[in-house]
A and B are shown apart, each in its own frame.
Chain A
Amino acid sequence: MTDTPLLSVRNLKRQFGKAGPAAVEDVSFDLAPGEILALIGPSGCGKTTTLRMIAGFEPPDHGAISLRGRDITATPAEKRGIGMVFQDYALFPHMDVARNILFGAREKTPQTVARALSMVGLDGYGSRYPDELSGGQQQRIALARSFAAEPSLILLDEPFSNLDAALRHATRREIRALLKNAGIGIIIVTHDQEEALSFADRLALMRDGRIVQHGTGQQIYDRPVDAFVATFLGRTNLVPGTARGELCDTPLGTVRLAAPAEGQVTLSMRPELLELQAAAEAGNGRVTGVEFKGHDMTYWVDCAGREMQVDVMNGPRLGEGAAVDLSLRGEAVVLRDPA
């Protein structure tokens, strides 16, 4: 990387209280201009604390944050030029929409309000008060308010969690398009894996205050580093095996590995990479459950005492109790031992 990243976070640490584990430990990443990064993980993993340190509401115990190559670790929140959209939007209830938008705007003109409102598709809403708006509208006004302050980076803290499912999908797509056009950096915090995969360019998966894996959605989905990542992002089968170089002996037979390894290992096999065939004799598995989901089916297969999930698009329709041959298409991923 030769360009200076928009945001650079190095070795952030934050500990609440003297005893106990740190809320955030040794977190580092870069964000390019115009990029969307999702911080994702189960609740309590430190993602919101990380966001609040970047925003300047929480001082790090350790580490550095720089924006466009300038160290802002000790800069107060209001001087950072980083916008933040809160989970509950935090619109000022005693101000109308126009005054909310103008609050942080560089140019306090009616044009600023009009431009901000048309950007989020709410033209003419300037004189409304926040309590007269629906959840989705409030959410968009909160974004418009952040935009009007012309930040170089916007932080979104679970921005869609207060919207119902139908509204959530539509709003998410709209806002992604909007942000991509504006070309500013975005960090979004979420615990919803589907949201992270569809919204962000890159993901950083956090657990116990640390970033466990970092990369594009595809990279992480295809090559999870450990069982936590493999199960948090999508469904998977965890299978033990004995590795010898590029091959590995498993209850399914010998499979190819994505990367060479030796000895006892745990493998991740995504359900859609497994194949089922009706066995003539006793195969290596037996169907114990069938879940018909329309365009595909999920089979639950008992394979040497281990329950495996198999997603089948258009294979043979098999009933419960059927003997099957289970095999892997493609490569299995060797998972790191849990620390």
Chain B
Amino acid sequence: MSLNTTFRGAGRRSGPSVLLLIPALLVGIGTCLPVFWLVMRALEADPAELSAIVFRQRNLLLMLNTMKLVAVVLAIGTAIALPAAWLVTRSDLRGRGVVSFLMAMPLAVPGYVMAYAIIGMSGYYGFAKHWFGITLPPLRGLWGAGLALSLYTFPYLFLNLRSAFLGMDPALEETARSLGQSRASIFRHVMLPQLWPALVASWLVVGLYVIGDFGAIALMRYEVFSYAIYTQYSGAFDRTYAAWLSLMLLAVTVAALFAQHAVTRNRRFSRTGTGSARKAQPMPLGRMRVLAWGFVALVVIASLGMPLLVLAHWMRLGLPQMDWGHLGQTALATLGTAGPAAFLTVLLAVPVVLLILRHPGPLATVIDRLAYLGYATPPLAFALAMVFFALQAVPFFYQSYAILIFAYVMSFLALAFGPIRMGLLQIGARQEEAARSLGATPLRSFASVVMPRLRRPFVAGGLLVFIMVVKELPITLILAPTGYTTLSMNVFGRTNEGMMAEAAPFALSIILFSSLFVGLFLKYESKSDRQKAESSPR
């Protein structure tokens, strides 16, 4: 027999194809670009200037202000989200489904629109004066920004805490009660320790968002990192200092990311063994019911009613001079970049997710992390880095749609991963292998067997990105080509100049689009819950 032990061709792994590697490489480079260019720009300062910049006392103030803002937002957010989550999971409050929905809805009112509403309450023509005859002092600075951001972000806390409550084994509370513990003691010693991981994890998510937010704090004129970066960039034109501030902001973000990683990893361990718990016996509220409803009403009025009423009030005032044509044009222009950005993001996400799922290894892990880093990078720092990059490396792209869309794609890529990852996991690799054993090439197998079934996740991922781009402010503000304006830029620009009536229609349009986002978010939240329930007994 001619065939002895031959090693021809053996031992060679068929690695990921170039079709997967090139997109992954693009993502790797794209998400690392900001850091690289910020460092490049920051190092342009001469050594004497450098120490003056880095050790400026103002930096400490900015840091302190940022921390204060984070603390205020988390405190207000938790004060709302924790009782609300308890009410909808553990009490006998009626209409818990509706309450849950209402508590998630404020996600549709972006921070800068919330800020707009708070600012629009006060003032001579303001909502409060017009309808109630009360002249409210303008709420600005720390408390204004804190309120705007916490009213926008508390739903994240709420949704996380809600699923933590749902995942908790009620037998533990019942045991504690049978051991004669008071309700307060049970909450402190039994429930809180179990909620803790979910609480800390969602604090970090919200904290990350607050650190990176720009719109609300700029409208409230509260001096934190991103506001300082913007004023340095747009006013003083001290770009070296802006680069340094961006790097500091980035460092805070990366530190928070590491903390988040550590916490979520621990959470996975602490949750094992809960199994499929029984549903908790709802606790009768008794006379506290009135208090509970009062609380829910207050939260809904503040987070949904107030912005909508204030917007309606200013819409009414502005209606006579309303420029419908301009609104339509702006909406179309917004969609004009959001559409391509969403499409390209999903197109890029598919090969990258494929690489992560089908070729797990160090490369895949790094790309996955980098995509998430791109998402977590404060958008203002990201945009600024893109400016430096464009000016120095590709000047013909400066202030072009290409750079703007590239920035959108890199910062929202991780968002599209979710639905596509879930879709690919559900389809699995079997069908493709079957197609290949029938003689189809890998490309044809993927195109004919996987692609048709990936349509829904493709659309869902695209919509998520699309709506995020519509809401997006800082990247758009800094990278927009001359003469190009979006809905969010109009809200920001006009509110900044006190033109509340003119800003209202743009803000309402954004809320309309964002409601779509919340709908999608809730849909995917419940879907992943179901998956968790299916896999947990094992």
Give A contacts to B, CB under 8 Å.
Answer: 8, 10-11, 55-57, 59-64, 66, 69, 71, 73-74, 76-79, 81-84, 86, 88, 90-94, 103-104, 142, 145-146, 149, 151, 155
- B440 contacts A71, CB within 8 Å? no
B12 engages A86 (CB within 8 Å): no
- Decide if B449 is an interface residue (CB 8 Å cutoff): yes
Asked if residues B434 and A71 are in contact (CB atoms below 8 Å), the reply is no
Question: Which residues of chain B are near A77, meaning CB under 8 Å?
Answer: 433, 436-437
Within 8 A of A (CB), among B436-454: 436-442, 445, 448-449, 452-453
In Å, the complex CA distance between A79 and B445 comes to 13
Interface contact B430-A145, CB-CB below 8 Å: no
**Min C-beta distance of A188 to chain B, whole Å:** 15
Give Cα distance in the complex from A44 to B300, angstroms. Answer: 57
Closest CB-CB distance, A157 to chain B, in whole Å? Answer: 10
B4–A10 contact, CB under 8 A? yes
A94 touches B434 (CB 8 A): no
Please, what's the 1-or-0 string for B184-227, where 1 marks a CB less than 8 Å from any CB in chain A?
00000000000000000000000000000000000000000000
B430 touches A88 (CB 8 A): yes
User: Is B437's CB under 8 angstroms from A55's CB?
Assistant: yes
Question: Is A104 touching B438 in the complex (CB atoms < 8 A)?
Answer: yes
- Determine if B439 and A78 form an interchain contact, defined as CB atoms under 8 angstroms apart: yes
What are the residues of chain A within 8 A of B3 when measuring CB–CB?
Answer: 8, 10, 64, 66, 69, 71
* B290: Cβ under 8 A from any A Cβ: no
Q: Which residue of A lies closest to B7 (CB)?
A: A62
Q: A77-B433, A145-B438, A146-B438 given; name 19 further pairs at CB < 8 Å.
A: A55-B437, A56-B436, A61-B11, A64-B8, A64-B10, A73-B6, A73-B8, A73-B10, A78-B436, A78-B439, A78-B442, A79-B439, A83-B438, A84-B434, A86-B430, A90-B431, A93-B453, A103-B448, A104-B437
Q: Is B482 engaged at the interface, CB distance under 8 Å to the other chain? A: no
- List, in ascending order, chain A residues with CB within 8 A of B11's CB: 59-62
Q: How far is the CB of A207 from chain B (nearest CB, A)?
A: 22
Task: Find residues 1-56 in chain B having any chain A CB closer than 8 Å to their own CB.
Answer: 1-14
Residues of A within 8 A of B436 (CB): 56-57, 76-78
Instruction: Take A74-B8, A74-B9 as given contacts and tell me if A86 and B433 are in contact as well, using a CB distance cutoff of 8 Å.
Output: yes
Query: What CA separation (Å) do A92 and B430 show in the bound complex?
Result: 10
Given A8-B3, A64-B5, decide whether A90 and B12 contact each other with a Cβ distance below 8 A. no
- A149 contacts B8, CB within 8 Å? no
Q: Is B422 an interface residue (CB 8 A)?
A: no
B contact patch SS: loop
Q: Give B residues with C-beta under 8 Å from A.
A: 1-14, 430-431, 433-442, 445, 448-449, 452-453
Q: Which residues of A contact B5 (CB under 8 A)?
A: 10-11, 63-64
Question: When the two chains form the complex, which single residue of B9, B434, B439, B448 contacts A86, counting CB atoms closer than 8 Å?
Answer: B434
Q: What CA separation (Å) do A81 and B436 show in the bound complex?
A: 10
B292 to chain A, nearest CB (A): 46
Chain A residues with CB below 8 A from B6, complex form:
10, 64, 71, 73
| Beta-carbon contact of A104 and B439 below 8 Å | yes
Known: A64-B5, A73-B8, A90-B434. A59 touches B14 (CB 8 A): yes
Query: Would you call B9 and A149 a contact (CB within 8 A)?
Result: no
Could you pull out 23 A-B pairs where Cβ atoms are within 8 angstroms? A10-B5, A10-B6, A11-B5, A56-B436, A59-B11, A59-B12, A60-B10, A63-B10, A69-B2, A71-B6, A73-B10, A76-B441, A76-B442, A78-B441, A84-B433, A84-B437, A90-B431, A90-B433, A92-B448, A92-B449, A94-B452, A104-B439, A149-B439
Of all A-B residue pairs in the complex, the 3 with the closest CB atoms, nearest first, are A104-B438, A74-B9, A90-B434
Q: Are B438 and A103 in contact (CB under 8 A)?
A: yes
In the assembled complex, the Cα of A115 lies from the Cα of B217 at a distance in Å of 72
Q: How far is the CB of B85 from the nearest CB of chain A, in Å?
A: 38
Complex CA–CA separation, A62 to B8 (angstroms): 9
Q: Are A90 and B430 in contact (CB under 8 A)?
A: yes
Give the residues in chain A near B14, CB-CB below 8 Å. 59, 76
A59 and B440 form a contact (CB under 8 A): no
* Cα-based distance from A59 to B441 in the complex (angstroms): 17
What chain B residues lie within 8 Å of A73 (beta carbons)? 6, 8-10
A84, A91, A145 interface centre (most CB from chain B within 10 Å): A84
A207 to B449, CA, bound (A): 35
Point out the residues of chain B lying under 8 angstroms from A104, CB to CB: 435, 437-440
Cα(A63)–Cα(B433), bound, Å: 22
Q: How far is the CA of A69 from the CA of B431 in the complex (A)?
A: 29
The complex places the Cα of A314 from the Cα of B424 at a distance, in Å, of: 60
By the criterion CB–CB under 8 Å, are B437 and A82 in contact?
A: yes
The answer to whether B7 touches A149, judged by C-beta atoms less than 8 angstroms apart, is no
Min Cβ gap A80→B in Å is 8
Complex CA gap A210/B451 in Å reads: 39
Q: Whose C-beta in chain A lies nearest to the C-beta of B434?
A: A90
Nearest CB of A to B181, in Å: 47
Measured between alpha carbons, how far is A56 from B437 in the docked complex, in Å?
8
Residues of chain A lying within 8 A (CB to CB) of residue B439:
78-79, 81, 104, 149
> Would you call B9 and A92 a contact (CB within 8 A)?
no
Could you tell me the distance between the alpha carbons of A149 and B434 in the complex, rounded to whole angstroms? 12
Assess the A103–B453 pair: CB atoms within 8 A.
no
Q: How far is the CA of A94 from the CA of B435 in the complex (A)?
A: 13
Q: How far is the CA of A74 from the CA of B7 in the complex (A)?
A: 10
* CA of A327 to CA of B340, assembled, Å: 85
The distance in angstroms between the C-alpha atoms of A259 and B532, with both chains bound, is 59
Question: In the docked arrangement, what's the CA distance between A151 and B439, Å?
Answer: 9
Query: What's the Cα separation between A155 and B440 when bound, in Å?
Result: 17
Q: Which chain A residues lie closer than 8 Å to B442 at the CB level?
A: 76, 78
Chain A residues lying within 8 Å of B441, measured Cβ to Cβ, are: 76, 78
Do A83 and B10 touch (CB < 8 A)? no
Question: For residue A75, which residue of chain B has the nearest CB?
Answer: B9
| Nearest residue, chain B, Cβ from A155 | B437
Contact A92-B431, Cβ < 8 Å, known A103-B448, A146-B438: yes
Smallest CB separation, A28 vs chain B (Å) = 9
Taking the closest CB of chain B, its distance from the CB of A24, in whole angstroms, is 12
Contacts of A93 in B (CB 8 A): 453
Alpha-carbon distance A92/B431, docked complex (angstroms): 7
The minimal Cβ–Cβ distance linking A101 to chain B, given in whole angstroms, is 10
B431-A149 in contact (CB<8A): no
Complex Cα–Cα for A82 and B439 (A): 8
Nearest B residue to A60 via CB reads B10
How far is B11's CA from A57's CA once the two chains are assembled, in angstroms?
A: 13
Closest B residue, CB atoms, query A11: B5
- Using CB atoms, name the residue of chain A closest to B448: A103
> When chains A and B are docked, how far (Å) is the Cα of A142 from the Cα of B12?
31
Residues of B within 8 A of A8 (CB): 1, 3
Cβ contacts under 8 Å, B430 to chain A: 86, 88, 90
Q: Which residues of B contact A91 (CB under 8 A)?
A: 434
Chain A residues with CB under 8 Å of B4's CB are 10
In angstroms, Cα B430 to Cα A146, docked, is 14
Which residues of chain A come closer than 8 Å to B452, judged between CB atoms?
Answer: 94
Residues from chain A with Cβ under 8 Å of B445 in the complex: 78
Taking the nearest CB of chain A, how far is it from the CB of B438, in angstroms? 3
Q: Name the distance in Å between B5's Cβ and chain A's nearest Cβ.
A: 5
A61 to B8, CA, bound (A): 11
In the bound complex, what is the Cα–Cα distance between A84 and B436 (angstroms)?
Answer: 9
What are the residues of chain A within 8 A of B449 when measuring CB–CB?
Answer: 92
Closest chain B CB from A186 CB (angstroms): 14
In angstroms, Cα B191 to Cα A252, docked, is 68
